[in-house]
């Protein structure tokens, strides 16, 4: 395994109380593999990624337990200085909002070049050449001229390409993409996802794709981890999960989206709201919204049941869910 | 067919670009909406889809009179509302209400829910006499699925989905005939989106509403709409019944748009043809001559540069009756199925697919 997150716990200590954002997450990615982490806002999908990257705001955040093994080393035991060498060079992140993640007063060439001057000790001139190469690689037209331009002079799709270029600069082994196409229009989203998938294949990188879009996941992922209230409720190969979900939350999500290829009747709607992380319900966190909930769900936290050797579900009644 | 409740023709909105401070002179215009025609029947839902910057929200704003059109007419029951003012305008506006996209910024944080939903009655006091308003607001809360006892709470005490219900209740307060909904669910989580869409569906039957539903999510638009119009750079390029547009698109832009939508079905990735458009949408200050899509179109020829295609049933389909015969503004329109037909081998077993690289 390239990256393995084991029993990760993250809390946020705020004035109003402790928000339990991540409550025992386990997942792993291999080289060349795409893991999609699916969840709604507040499910802990981004916080987990930030902990892996080491960019979690601490305080108020606090990692209260677990291990993050990257190429065998536990990142949580590294000093900040060693951690910084990993970040950017070995693993990189692509953020949702390229406009606010790029520096508005530096040209894109300077920002791309910075990767090489800081991490590789290159001269500014060589770094500039590298920056142009990278821009070509993510298919930004007229890279030579545009390298001098500033982020606001690029369209949304082009900016996201620059983010991808920056992440790829040092050819990291792992890329974490946090909602990389959510802010983009569909036709541009398709261009960007295609590019990302192609580069990933070419460089045999591990990719963690964080998203709430079940359509994007179906298009590119090999495996999916579905998160709810800071836990993974189901993890499985992509084909299995769409064919027959083994957790009522996954099932509800799949049934609640309207489809392009059919005119539906009334949509299935998961009732209620996602829980408040300061006050997660006892037992299974999904029980107040679950159509299958029984007494045991209100008292016992479901363990991760092994559905088969590639698949886990955190539901007491995964068998029933799978069969109906 | 009866007269449509709303008829828009030749609608144009240009925002002038000026140079100079004292002597302003116009040097160009942002052509946000550049000639839009459509009609909305009673009880019908017309969906408008398009990417950001195509002018769909500007159309919505003109319908509810938040923007004055540069040219064109908006006829409500045969009467052009762009020429109205004063009392006559107010009466019309009562019947066309809007639901906004962002439930976080469209509700005043300093007003209670009761005041927000009841505010329309201040402007149109004839709808509800003062003593009756509180009860009316509570009824509305009940109708949109919120507890009527929440009437004294503030917006921040509600979740996104609940806030959107408040926005919908406000839109319903004056019992309008038409609701213009601009991206009403795009700020919501997936599991909450379905609740709000179902609510809109139910309200339409209950109050005999006509919807103009604007969104960028093609799946949601299909779900809720009877007819769909596709906009590109200020114009409608194709319009028709939902099955005509989704299953038998004839305009290349619609085909590209539909083929780019990720379908939540991993089996589809192998046997789906994708049309990936190159480049970005041109700037609305500098619209290409002829067909405005030609700069990204793989079919573009000289004719497209010279001649603006009209929104009409293309000549090759004019004699046919069938789903392909609908309005499409393309010189080289041809039918192409890009969305895989329903359940194509979704049940088919195929083994050993796991672990392959992304397809």
Domain ranges of chain B: 6-225, 249-339
pLDDT given at position A262: 67
Contact status of B276 with chain A (Cβ, < 8 Å): yes
Task: Please tell me the distance in Å from A10's CA to the nearest CA on chain B.
Answer: 23
The ipTM of this complex is 0.76
Which residues of chain A lie closer than 8 angstroms to B267, CB-CB? Answer: 239, 242
Cβ of residue B228 closer than 8 Å to a chain A Cβ: no
Distance from CA of B270 to the nearest CA of A (A): 9
* Residue A261 with chain B: CB contacts under 8 Å: 246, 263, 339-342
| Residues A187, B354: C-beta atoms closer than 8 Å | no
Residue B212 backbone dihedrals phi, psi, to 5 degrees? -110, 110
From B79's Cα to the closest Cα of chain A, the distance in A is 34
CB contact under 8 A, B190 and A257: yes
pLDDT at res. B351: 36
Interval B44-78: pLDDT, tens: 999 999 888 888 889 999 999 889 999 999 999 98
pLDDT over threshold 50, residue B152: yes
Of B161, B257, B342, nearest to A261 by CB-CB distance is: B342
- Measure A243 CA to nearest chain B CA, in Å: 8
Residues B105-145 pLDDT 10s: 889 999 999 999 999 999 898 888 888 889 999 999 999 98
Per-residue pLDDT at B354 exceeds 60 = no
Residue A157: list chain B partners with CB under 8 A.
280
| Mean pLDDT for the stretch of residues B199-208 | 91
CB-CB neighbors (< 8 A) of A310 in chain B: 354
pLDDT tens-digit map of A29-77: 999 899 999 988 888 888 999 999 988 888 888 899 899 999 888 988 8
Residue B85 pLDDT grade (very low, low, confident, very high; cuts 50, 70, 90): confident
Contacts 24+ apart (CB under 8 A), B41-44: B41/B1, B41/B2, B41/B4, B41/B5, B41/B210, B42/B2, B42/B4, B42/B5, B42/B177, B42/B208, B42/B210, B43/B204, B43/B208, B43/B209, B43/B210, B44/B210, B44/B211, B44/B226, B44/B227
Q: Do A219 and B262 touch (CB under 8 A)?
A: yes
Q: Please check whether residue B83 touches A, CB under 8 A.
A: no
Asked if A134 and A112 count as a contact pair (C-beta separation under 8 A), the reply is yes
Q: Which of B162, B189, B197 has its CB closest to that of A267?
A: B197
Specify the pLDDT at position B352.
Answer: 37
Q: pLDDT tens across B242-272, in order?
A: 889 999 999 999 999 998 888 888 887 777 7
Interface test with A, best of B163, B194, B216 (most A CBs within 10 A): B194
Looking at domain B6-225, its CATH architecture is 3-Layer(aba) Sandwich (3.40)
Q: How far is B247 from chain A (nearest CA, A)?
A: 8
Nearest CB among B256, B269, B356 relative to A219 is that of: B269
């Amino acid at each position: 395994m390239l990256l393995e997150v084991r029993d990760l716990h993250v809390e946020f200590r705020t004035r109003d109380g402790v928000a339990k954002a991540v409550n025992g997450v386990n997942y792993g990615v291999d080289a060349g593999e795409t893991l999609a982490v699916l969840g709604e806002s507040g499910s802990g999908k981004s916080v987990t990624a930030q902990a892996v990257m080491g960019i979690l705001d601490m305080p108020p955040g606090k990692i209260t337990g677990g291990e993050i093994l990257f190429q065998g080393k536990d990142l949580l035991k590294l000093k900040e200085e060693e951690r910084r060498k990993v970040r950017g060079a070995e693993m990189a992140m692509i953020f949702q909002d390229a406009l606010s993640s790029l520096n508005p007063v530096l040209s894109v060439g300077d920002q791309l070049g910075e990767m090489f001057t800081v991490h590789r000790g290159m001269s500014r001139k060589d770094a500039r050449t590298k920056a142009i190469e990278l821009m070509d690689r993510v298919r930004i037209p007229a890279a030579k001229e545009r390298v001098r331009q500033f982020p606001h002079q690029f369209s949304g799709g082009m900016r996201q390409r620059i983010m991808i270029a920056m992440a790829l600069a040092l050819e990291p082994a792992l890329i974490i993409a946090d909602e990389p196409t959510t802010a983009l229009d569909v036709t541009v989203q398709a261009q960007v996802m295609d590019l990302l998938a192609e580069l990933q294949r070419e460089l045999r990188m591990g990719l963690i794709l964080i998203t709430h879009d079940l359509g994007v996941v179906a298009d590119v992922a090999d495996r999916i981890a579905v998160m709810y209230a800071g836990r993974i409720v189901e993890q499985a190969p992509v084909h299995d999960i769409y064919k027959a979900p083994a957790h009522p939350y996954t099932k509800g999500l799949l049934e609640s989206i309207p489809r392009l290829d059919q005119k539906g009747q009334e949509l299935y709607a998961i009732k209620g709201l996602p829980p408040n992380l300061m006050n997660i319900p006892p037992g299974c966190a999904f029980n107040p919204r679950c159509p299958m909930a029984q007494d045991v769900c209100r008292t016992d936290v479901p363990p991760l049941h092994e559905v088969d050797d590639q698949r886990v579900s955190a539901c007491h009644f995964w068998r029933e869910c799978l069969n109906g | 067919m009866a007269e449509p409740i709303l008829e828009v023709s030749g609608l144009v909105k240009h925002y002038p670009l000026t140079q100079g401070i004292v002597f302003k002179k116009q040097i160009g215009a942002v052509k946000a909406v550049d000639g839009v025609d459509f009609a909305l029947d009673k009880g019908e839902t017309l969906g408008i889809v398009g990417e950001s910057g195509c002018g769909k929200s500007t159309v919505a704003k003109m319908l509810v009179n938040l923007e004055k059109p540069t040219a064109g007419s908006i006829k409500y029951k045969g009467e052009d509302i762009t020429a109205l003012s004063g009392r006559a305008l107010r009466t019309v506006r009562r019947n066309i209400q809007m639901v906004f996209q962002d439930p976080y910024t469209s509700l005043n944080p300093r007003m209670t829910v009761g005041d927000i939903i009841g505010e329309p009655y201040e402007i149109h006091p004839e709808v509800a006499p003062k003593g009756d308003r509180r009860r009316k607001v509570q009824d509305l809360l009940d109708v949109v699925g919120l507890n009527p006892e929440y009437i004294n709470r503030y917006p921040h005490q509600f979740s996104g989905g609940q806030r959107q219900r408040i926005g919908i209740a406000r839109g319903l307060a004056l019992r309008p005939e038409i609701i213009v909904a601009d991206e009403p669910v795009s700020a919501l989580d997936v599991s909450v989106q379905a609740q709000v869409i179902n609510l809109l569906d139910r309200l339409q039957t209950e109050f005999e509403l006509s919807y103009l539903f604007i969104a960028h999510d093609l799946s949601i638009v299909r779900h809720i709409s009877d007819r769909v119009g596709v906009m590109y750079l200020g114009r409608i390029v194709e319009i028709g019944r939902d099955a005509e547009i989704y299953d038998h698109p004839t305009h290349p832009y619609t085909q590209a748009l539909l083929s780019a939508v990720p379908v939540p079905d991993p089996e589809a990735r192998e046997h789906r043809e994708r049309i990936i458009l190159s480049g970005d949408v041109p700037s609305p200050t500098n619209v290409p001559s002829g067909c405005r899509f030609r700069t990204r179109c793989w079919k573009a020829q000289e004719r497209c540069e010279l001649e603006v295609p009209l929104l009409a049933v293309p000549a090759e389909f004019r004699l046919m009756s069938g789903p392909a015969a609908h309005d499409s503004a393309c010189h080289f329109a041809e039918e192409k199925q890009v969305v895989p037909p329903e359940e194509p081998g979704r049940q088919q077993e195929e083994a050993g697919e796991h672990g392959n690289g992304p397809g």
